[in-house]
Amino acid sequence: MERNLRNSRKLKKINMSANLRTWIEIDKKAYLHNLEFLKSIFKDTDISSVVKGNAYGHGIEQIVPLAQNAGINYFSVFSLEEACRVHSVKNKDAHLMIMGYIPNDSYEWVIEHDISFFIYEPGDLNKAILAAKKVKKKANIHLELETGMNRTGLDDLNLNKAIKIIKENKNHVNIKGVCTHLAGAESIANHVRIKRQIINYNRQLNQIKKQGCEPEKLHMACSAAAISYPRTRKDLIRTGILQYGFWPSFETRIAFMQKYKHTIDPLRRVLSWKSRVMHIKTVEPGEFISYGTAFFASEKKKIAVVPVGYADGFNRSLSNNGRVLIHGKIASVIGLVNMNMLIADITHINNVKPGDEVVLIGKQKNNIIRVSSFSEFTQQVNYELLTRLPGSIPRIIKN
């Protein structure tokens, strides 16, 4: 991890256009704009920036400092590994919360560094208390309730067990929060289920309070729920995809636009993915291009080889299907996407030369390739495509 941080610092000194075969640009102004927008509509609650999945592909080490400078003081991750990365770049006052997996031998480190974490079964609570006793610090926990998601969470029986353990170990536990996860708030098809979850959450919360346990914060809203179900906002919102400029679903976007009378999308995309032309070749009619017989040149073709392939997250299903931008014009991906290369048809684009910029996601002149266009061709949702962008691709802040 330290080596990755050193490498990222070195990249800032590199002439990007001369040295990198592919890179991801993070638009600082767009990201800060999105955070200000979220603050304007979620005025009465704290916002936790969800940076799991390498900050949805945007880069933990890049996003966390930007968010902190914009006044965000809460961060949520899924795993211990992600928590280590956030901890290495966050300021000492920022709150960090692990929503998922913690290895049994890592509770001491987590507690020692004042990182809070979800408890979704009594056994993990016992492990945390043992670790707390060893490091002589209280474990900061969030009780995750099973309200109908049926994934992780304390059902009524295990919640009572957890409360009993907490009451017997008051000197070793802080209840930082009571939370749950909603099962598909981005779709109206789940409306009845979400309503039932809200009822279950409030019922279990009353059960906790009646037994003398007072949590510091209540939270249940993800990005979609915060938009579509205002009652779920509580004390804290776990905001993921919205901060990066994407709506959880088209339904969520429409719901917002109608409620707030917006006619223009208030979010700005933060991420652009770029490469460069590696090689140019002319292919005569009657020849096949790239592996096998996937593409037959029925006429003379001029092609550009781009040094990006499925190893970099450019899905193989985009063979003969994808699009890139070169000189601001759309160039079709032809032939099979290789492990490390793709081929673009530039027959209609003049004066292309090796080293010219290629946009895989983002804007170039008057044309845009959106993440949603990848979804149309690959069946990947935007969450999946973004988080599958390899961490090895350099992320560079664009001011």
**How many Å apart are CA 364 and CA 327, to the nearest integer?**
7
Neighbours of 176 (CB within 10 A): 21
Q: Which residues contact 69 (CB under 8 A, 6 or more apart)?
A: none
Chain length of the chain: 399
Q: Which of the residues 12, 209, 260, 291 is marked catalytic? A: 291
Q: Is 231 marked as a binding-site residue?
A: no
**How many Å apart are CA 171 and CA 173, to the nearest integer?**
6
Q: Which of the residues 31, 52, 176, 383 is marked catalytic? A: 52
Neighbours of 7 (CB within 10 A): 11
Could you give the C-alpha distances from 110 to 4, 50, 53, 83, 257, in angstroms and in order? Answer: 21, 18, 19, 9, 41
> Can you state the angle between helices 191-210 and 156-168, rounded to 10 degrees?
30
**How many Å apart are CA 79 and CA 81, to the nearest integer?**
5
**How many Å apart are CA 119 and CA 145, to the nearest integer?**
9
Q: Is residue 291 annotated as part of the catalytic site, yes or no?
A: yes
**How many Å apart are CA 258 and CA 279, to the nearest integer?**
48
Q: Indicate the residue type of 103.
A: P
Q: Is 151 marked as a binding-site residue?
A: yes
The β-bridge relationship of strands 301-306 and 342-345 is antiparallel
Helix, strand, or coil (residue 300): coil
Helix, strand, or coil (residue 228): helix
Helix, strand, or coil (residue 62): helix
* Nearest alpha carbon to residue 199 among 164, 148, 273, 139: 148
**Does an H or E element contain 244, and which?**
none
Feature table: binding site = 151, 339
Which residues participate in the annotated binding site for substrate? Answer: 151, 339
Query: Which residues are the active-site residues?
Result: 52, 291
